[in-house]
Structure 1
Amino acid sequence: MLTALQGQAPAAEESRREGSTLLLRCPYAAQQSQQLKGWGRLTGGQWEVLLETTPPQNSSTTQSTMGRVSVRDNSTSRLVTVVVTNLQAEDSGSYCCTLRSPLPSSRPLPLKIISLNVFKEVHRWELDTVSVQCKYRAVEDRATPKVWCRRGPRGCQPWLRTEPSWAESRALEGRALIQDDPQGGIVTVTMRNLQAQDAGTYWCALHRAWQPARIMELRLYVSKRTKHCRAKEAEQLSVQCLYNPSEHRPVSKAWCRKAAGEPCSLLLSTEVEAPGRLRTSQRGRVAIQDDSLQGIVTVTVSSLQAQDSGVYWCALREQDGLLRMAEVVLSVPGGNRGGESSCGKPEDVAQVGSPGRVERARDESKDLNYATLTFGAQPSPEGALYCNLEPGQAHRGPRAEDVQYAIIGLQQLPASGKG
C-alpha cells in the first residue's frame, strides 16, 4: 500500500446509478488553504490526478472543469466540492480529493478516499432478454477467469465462469451465457427467458484467489403480469397470452395450475411438431391453441366450477421446465351469486425482494398479456359490453386520444321473430 494511504480511514463506498451525478464534499484544515486541490483516481497502485484547481488568487473560490468533472475550492469555508456528472459503469474505482503544494515537484496526497460503485439498473418483463458488457483492464487481467455471480447473504455466489472446466451447478442453466474477449477487455453476459425470481443484484467479477473482485454491478428488476378474473359457474373463460414469435415460435406452450410452495402442475400443452399455423390440444374442459404466426396462445376453460378457482400460468414448456408467460388468478364463487363476471386489467408485479426501489418497467407491445371472458349465458337486454380496440396501448400514459371503446346495446328479439 502507498505511504500516502497509511493512516487513512477505510474508504467509504458511494453507490450511484449509471447516468446519475456524484457530489462529494471534502473539508480541510486552515493550514492547507494555500495548497492545490484536486480529484484523483487510484491506478496501478498510485494516485493519478485527473483534475486540479489553479493556485488561489484574490478570490476565495477557485474552480476547474474538464469534461464531466468539476472541482471547486472555497478557502473561506475550507471545503473542496467535486461534481462528476453522467456516471458510467467504467467510472467505478477508488478516488480521492487530493492536496498538493504549489511547488512543481510536489506529490499529491489523499484528503478523502472513496470507493465509487456505478451500477447499471435494468428493468425487464418476464421472458425478456438482458445482455450487459463489462470492461476490464485487458493487459493486467487478460488471463484471470471471469465470473457472473449473484449477491446474497453469503456474498456473491458464482453462477457462470469463463473457464470450461468449471462445473458447479447454476440456477440459470441453459438460460445464461458468459463470453470473454481478452483482446478487447470485455466480458459479455446474456440472460434470456427471464423470470421474476431472477431479479437481484449481479456482478461481473474477476475470480482472484477464489474470491470475486467486482468489475461491474447490475441491479436487475423483472416484472410479471398478473390478471385477476372472476366468473360464475357454468360460464366459459378464454385467456389470451402474447409472446414474441421470432423467439418462441418453436417452443411448446402450456397451461398449468400453481399451488403455493409447489411447482406449476401441467394441465395441457401444445405439440411442437404439429403442422400449420394453429396448434391445438384439448383435454376435458380445457383447450389450448397456439397461433404461432401472430404469437398468441389462447386457453379456453368451459363449464367453470367453483373448484376451478386458483392460480394458473400461461407458460413455455422447455426441457428445463415451465417458464411463466403470464399469471391468471381465477375466482369462481359457488352458485350464481358471485356478482358480475369480469377480468381486471393486467397488473405489472415486480418480484418481491428486488434490489432497491421497484419502478414500473418499460412496456413492449410484444410482451402484452391479457384475458377476455366469453359468456355462454344470454346477456340481459339492458346490458352493455365494453372493449378496448387497441390492446397495445394498455400501458401508455392516460392520454384522452388513446382511449377508444365501443358500447354495444343488445335488444331482445320478439318471441315470434325469425332470422
Structure 2
Amino acid sequence: MELRFLLLLLLLCISGFQAQESDAVESRVEGQSLVVECRYRSPDYSATRKTWCQLRGEICSPLVSTSYTSYGYNNKVASGRTTIEDDTRNGIVTITMEKLQVQDSRVYWCALYDPPNTLYPLTTIKLDVFKEVHEYDVIEGQSLSVQCPYNTQRYKEEKKAWCRSTVQNKWEVLVNTYHGFLSYQNSAQKGRARIHDDTQKGIVTITMEKLKVDDAGVYWCALYQPPNLYRIIEVKLAVTKTTTTRVVPVTSSTGHTSLILSTASAGVNPADSSLSSERNFIILGVVLGVLFILALIGLVILYTRKSKQLKTRGDGQAEAIYEEPKDATVSQGFGNMNDPKDDKQEIPQDLKYATLAFKSRPSPRESVYDNITPSRALETPHTRSSTEPVEYASISLKPLASGTKS
C-alpha cells in the first residue's frame, strides 16, 4: 500500500501527471441530468480506481467508484442516480447524474481513488441545481415575498442567503442566516431585505419591502457556504413606476404658452405594453360589434314601420268605396263606378265600386228598393254550395225635378 502511494505521488510530481483543476460551473434545472468527462493522461493509471465524490469542507465523500472484483477491474458502476464509467483505452472517465435535485448542488471531484482516503482530483465541478425560474412584476412601493423549499434532512441548519447578481456574473449577498455563539440564527434583516428559515418545514422565506425601480434584476435564494453559493431558486424581478400626471408647458409659434396634462409611466416593460395594446384592441372590437348590432336593429325597425305604412295606404285606397255627395239636394243615387276605360286593365272580377248617398227619411213619392233575401233561383243541386256572407242595402230613388234633363 505504501509502495503504491509513493509511486503514485512520484508520478504526479515527476512524470507530469497533474490534476486537472479547471473548475467548471454547471447549472441545471431540477429534474435534468449532468454528464461530466474527466481525462487522465498516463496509461499507467488505466487500472487505477476512479471515483466521483462530493466535497464538504475539506472532505470529499465518494458517491460512486470503480472497483475490483474476482473477475477483474469493474470499470462501470451505478449507485442510486449516479453512474461512473472508465474508458481505460482512451483515458476518459464519464460520470452521469440523473434526475437532479436542489440538494445536489455542491462541489464535486472526479478523482483517482486509492481507498480508503487517498484522492487525487482530476476535475473539480461546481454543480448548481435550482428550481424553475420565478418571474415577478411589481409596482414601485410594493413588497415582494419569495418562498424557497429545501431538503431538511441534509440542509436543515446550513446557512441560507438572499443574493443579487452583479456585473461579470458575481453575486452580492444582501442578507443571510448565520450560526451564532450558541445556536443557529434562522432569521436576519438587513436594510429592506429580511430572511427567515423555517427548519421544520424546510422553507426559506425572503421579503423585500418598499421596492424601487433600481431593485429590478436577478436574485438567488441559495445555500450559503462562504464563499460558495448554491442556488435554490432564481428570481427575475421587474419593478415599474406608477402612472403619474404632470403639467407640461408648451409654447406655440405665436409666443403663447399653454399647459398640457401629460400622463406617463416610467419603467414599463415591453411585455406590459403589448398586453395593454392587446387589451385595447379587444375592447375596441367589442364596442364596434355592439354598435353594428344596434345599427342593424334600427334598420330592421325602420323597414318594418315603412312596410306597415305602405300597407295601410293600399288598404285605404281599396276600402274607400263609399263617399257622401257634396250636393245636399241629391237624396240618393246609385251607379256603377267602373270606368269603361278600366275594362282594359286587369281588375279583379269580384271588385265593384259604388257611390251611395243617404237621406234621413225617404218621401212617399220616392221609390224604395229593398234587397231582402238572396235569390236561390239559379242554384241547382249540382252547383249548390255553402252560402257566402251577403250584405244587404236599401236604395231609394228620387224623381228628377221638372225641367231637368235626364
- For normalisation by structure 1, the TM-score amounts to 0.47
Provide the TM-score with structure 2 as the length reference: 0.48
| Higher normalized contact order (CA 8 Å, seq sep 6+, divided by chain length) | 1
Higher helix proportion (structure 1 or 2): 2
